[in-house]
Structure 1
Amino acid sequence: MRRFVAVLALVLTTSACSGTEEPGSEPTPSPPTGAATSSADGATETATPAPAAHPVSLAALAQTDFNGGDLRLGEEVARTAGHTQYAVNYRSGDLRVSGRLAVPDGDGPFPTVVLAHGYIDPAVYVNGQGMTREREWFGEHGYVALHVDYRGHAESGPDRSGGLDMRMGYTEDVINAVLALRAWDGPVDDERVGLVGRSMGGGVVYNALVAQPGLVDAGVVFAPVSSDAVDNFERWIRPDPARDDVAARILRRYGEPADEPAFWDGISARSQVDQITEPVLIHHGTADDSCPVRWSRETAAAMRRAGVDVTLRIYEGEGHAFGPQFDLSMERTGAFLTQHLGTA
């Protein structure tokens, strides 16, 4: 596995459309900020320091010192023939974040996945909601699986951003979940770790792969939101009367996308996919009436142009929740993770 490498700067790029698999390639490193260089006549020059990252951005996440750890098992909440599930919590920044942990029977160590669920109103969300099928599938197939509740959900500490952190806090919680699992004394093989996200959680997985390349070994997303933050804002936040106040506060703080493209690019994985070093598998149905399949086509195309090893799987007639073809999508996920994480 590529060991965890903190990224010091992110390079912004642009994108367009399609989606097949090509070999990945490493991004060209930028010179250090303020580094001394030599001119043609031998004189020493000092490079202009890069501008500071906006505090709400993937670049800022790339410069964060994450502290995920202190994973605590709570009560046993489920048991099957092949695995046991527990309520858990762990440290993420100055918060404790709750979740559900599936642990296979046996001694391990086991390959491991962190699960990032889709949008559910935090006011009604309960511990472990949103990816119960996936969590059980992974537990039964020999994976440790940590389902992250996110800040502001279930028993987690509060989300103090008021919706103004643009999902960066959720991304921080997922990154810290990986570190907490590695620090745990349970049966985790920390050389075989992946991220799996659904819908909004797919966007969180994109963010984590961009902000912390080398953290994990592979990423899988199902029916993901757009990798362009503007698409998501225009689809769900601006037109929703229940979110009028949130939309107004976002626009007052950060400006209209047309007026402040640098900010909106800075929170969009699409413009920074050249930072991704891990293989990515994207599942999307053609009948998805929540997240249009074209978003995944555009994301896969941007990744492919950037040299990312990306596979886009299209499911004819499948909707957002993946009903009839859920088993097929999980079989393909298992094969993909076996290829990149090893045999469970």
Structure 2
Amino acid sequence: MRTAFVAGSLAAVLAAGACTSSGSPPRAPTLIPTAPAETQRSSTSPSPVAPPSASASPPASPTAGPTGDGRERSDPAFIDALFETDFDGRDLRLGREGGSTDAYRQYFVTYRGDGLRISGRINIPRGSGPFPAVVLAHGYVPLEQYTNGATMLRERDHLARKGYVTLHIDYRNHAQSDDDPDNGPNLRIGYTVDAVNAGLALQQLDAVDPDRIGIIGRSMGGGVVYGALVAVPGLFKAGVAYSPVSSDTVDNFNRWVRRDRDRGGDARAVLRRLGAPERAPRTWARTSPRTYFDRITDPILIHHGTDDEDCPIRWSEETVTALKQAGKKVTYHVYSGERHTFTSQWPLSIRRTEAFLDTNLR
């Protein structure tokens, strides 16, 4: 049974302003508390940077113990652990309305998966559905500063006005989402689980066409996009990454975690289990989406600025090279002079994103 997409206290209003595909008023779920010059590099001409050799078919890690049937058990930080995961996104519920416009209605939302309740914000276009949808995976914000639906407001507003349901997820440990104390020591792989479960939860929403769901990630969320496309091929029919982190997890670990005193406990826990990346490259390859790019079945769009001060553009160049070597469909746009957050050239980038989604989700 797919979940209806309106809050009960607003049923009368929504009956006039937003209908299901059958034209009848939708059912009401249980209310929950709130809580300028640019250069394009096409997919045929990425920078000639080879991916690390560790990306080729790594063996079972010595840190993974045998299971009862003799197979090797994946460490929870390994990407291949996602292949063994029983994704169970469900029970998407709309809470209080806030921030609605003449083009869409916006709600606080929660869904369940991996034993957790995850919060977020959903925009649902007015009118008759079902609509295509996108999961929005945000970048890094310190947990103590993050609030529900705090980021990616531009993408949410633009795409909802163009007829897309947008589900901006808070991730575990963020806002009103449940806590997962192991997420840091597991290299935040739980964020990818949350994104996949969000896609599955959207499939059960009456407002959404279950066969037309994509995913967009910014910065850290770009890594979530890579992981989600690898974890469950075909769930997301298109992926978009803005200013993404590296698809080689070692790059991200060394830049942000390894020598950060505030994350020293996470770093020690990971190094104790997996060893140092320079001493155990084959083990660490199993933590990287790039290693498993051969699993991807759907197209990817990557935006990156030449002056990105947080995520070096060479990371995307290496990712594009690896995707093409795996025979995947990738479109790569480079923005001269653009920094990490995309300001002056954001209108161009969102038009390209919209066109990409229209091609693959309409």
TM-score, normalised via structure 1 length: 0.84
Taking structure 1 as reference, are residues 234 and 86 closer, same or farther at Cα in structure 2, changes over 3 Å only? same
Shift of 1:50: 5.9
Q: 1:172 aligns with which of 193, 200, 221?
A: 193
CA root-mean-square deviation = 1.8
2:273 aligned with 1:256, yes or no?
no
Equivalent positions of 1:128-139 (< 5 A) are 128-139=149-160
Deviation of 1:49 (Å): 7.4
Deviation at 1:249, TM superposition (A): 2.3
Paired residues for 1:45-60 under 5 Å? 51-60=72-81
Identity, % of aligned positions:
51
Match of residue 96, structure 1, among 117, 136, 141:
117
Matched with 2:227 is 207
Q: Distance in 2 between matches of 1:178 and 1:162?
A: 20
Does the CA-based 8 Å contact 2:238-2:361 persist in structure 1?
yes
Higher relative contact order (CA 8 A, sep 6+): 1
Q: Are 1:194 and 1:216, in contact at CA under 8 Å, matched by a contact in 2?
A: yes
Aligned to 2:147: 126
Conserved in 2, the CA contact under 8 Å of 1:111 and 1:144? yes
- Matched residue, 1:336: 356
| Residue in 1 that maps onto 2:86 | 65
Asked if residue 294 in structure 1 is aligned to residue 314 in structure 2, the reply is: yes
Give the Cα–Cα distance (whole angstroms) in 2 for the partners of residues 20 and 168 of structure 1: 30
2:43 alignment partner in structure 1: 21
Closer, same or farther: CA 19–262 of 1 in aligned 2, 3 Å: farther
Report how far residue 61 of structure 1 moved. 0.6
Is the 8 Å Cα contact of residues 88 and 113 (structure 2) preserved in structure 1? yes
- 1:114 touches 1:145 (CA, 8 Å); kept in 2? yes
Within the alignment, does 1:224 sit opposite 2:244 as a pair?
Answer: yes
1:294 counterpart letter in structure 2? R
Residue in structure 1 matched with residue 182 of structure 2 by the alignment: 161
Measure the CA separation in 2 of the matches of 1:265 and 1:323: 34
The yes-or-no answer on 1:282 pairing with 2:329 is no
Q: Does 1:109 align with 2:127?
A: no
1:176-209 deviations in Å (ceiling 9; x for gaps): 000101112x310111110100000000110011
Q: CA deviation at 1:146?
A: 0.3
- Post-superposition shift, 1:51? 3.6
Supply the AA of the counterpart residue of 2:140.
Answer: Y
**Equivalent residues of 1:282, 1:311 under 8 A apart:** yes
Retained in 1: the 8 A contact 2:76–2:186?
A: no
Answer with 220-229 or 266-275: which moved more.
266-275
Unpaired stretches in structure 1, ≥5 consecutive residues: 1-17, 23-29, 31-47
Post-superposition Cα deviations, 1:248-291, rounded to whole Å, max 9, x if no partner, equal 22212221002222331111011111111110000000010000
How many angstroms apart in 2 are the aligned matches of 1:245 and 1:56? 15
State whether residues 136 and 167 of structure 2, in contact with CA within 8 Å, keep that contact through their aligned partners in structure 1. yes
Residues 301 and 87 of structure 1: CA distance in aligned 2, closer, same or farther (over 3 Å): same
**Matching of residue 198 in structure 1 with residue 218 in structure 2:** yes
Aligned-partner residue type, residue 125 of structure 1: Y
Q: Distance in 2 between matches of 1:166 and 1:258?
A: 17
Number of equivalenced pairs: 300
Q: Distance in 2 between matches of 1:287 and 1:261?
A: 29
Q: CA deviation at 1:19?
A: 6.6
Instruction: Give SS of 2:98's match.
Output: strand
Question: 1:20–1:304: 8 Å Cα contact kept in structure 2?
Answer: no
